[in-house]
Structure 1
């Protein structure tokens, strides 16, 4: 695999910053895997929750959010790495509020389903 051009831009950062950025990327990937696992578990083991269509939509939604988060985590890691190389501030990320909103909506829907069931 060829090395990307941006790896030759700016100055080589302190390896501690690069490793910290990678740890953050891996944390985002773990979060995406947890969302995916939650969707699979919800679909497979919440068989008593009705309506089943809502449970299925919630499960698929968690899987889609996990896939999107995986892509966004890479783009966020790359943007941070470029900013570090050029000595610029780290870019703002709208992923955190989005992820919080997804968790809020999922929790609210599950709470309603559990109370109604």
Structure 2
């Protein structure tokens, strides 16, 4: 139980950093600004990815009316949810990297890029099948 409670406390502390990034200055030493700015550029790239996924979700919902409602809504909701998850993961990764740089630790590793890439590939494959099936019904 201590392991779970400790993980929950650590997760809550990480989320608090999202809203109070100035608290990061209390830890360690200020890293070279180039590294902080690179971390910020990575964060912004993740946000662009999230926005693209959200835009894709709306595009599926609005511009593929020939597909049956069920698959169209499922794909749209999936893209919207993955976009939201990507945005949340972006801010979490930014805070964790900033903290690691200030502490002089290794940067955190994550499986999220691989999971995101596989999810997008799977959604793209399903969309190819759905669009091809929708065109075949015409």
Bin of the TM-score, shorter chain as denominator length: over 0.9
Pairing 1:19–2:19 present: no
State the alpha-carbon separation in 1 of the partners of residues 30 and 87 from structure 2. 26
Pairing 1:81–2:102 present: no
The residue number in structure 2 matching 1:70 is: 87
Relative to its length, the structure with more helix (as a share) is: 2
Q: CA deviation at 1:104?
A: 1.2
The aligned runs of 1:19-98 (5 Å cut-off) are: 19-49=37-67, 51-98=68-115
State the alpha-carbon separation in 2 of the partners of residues 7 and 64 from structure 1. 33
User: 5+ unaligned residues in a row in structure 2: which ranges?
Assistant: 1-18
Greater C-alpha radius of gyration: 2
Q: 2:127 aligns with which of 99, 110, 115?
A: 110
Does the CA contact (< 8 Å) of 2:46 and 2:87 recur in 1? yes
Does the CA contact (< 8 Å) of 2:24 and 2:98 recur in 1? no
1:72-100, CA deviations, whole angstroms, 9 ceiling, x for partnerless residues? Answer: 10000001001111111111112101111
Bigger RCO (CA 8 Å, 6+ sep): 1
Q: CA deviation at 1:46?
A: 0.5
Root-mean-square deviation (CA), in Å? 1.4
Q: CA deviation at 1:105?
A: 1.3
TM-score scaled to structure 2, two decimals? 0.79
Tell me the number of residue pairs that the alignment of Structure 1 and Structure 2 aligns.
116
1:48 is paired with a residue whose SS is coil
Pairing 1:101–2:118 present: yes
TM-score scaled to structure 1, two decimals? 0.92
1:92 is paired with a residue whose SS is coil
Q: 1:2–1:102: structure 2 CA closer, same or farther, 3 Å change rule? A: closer
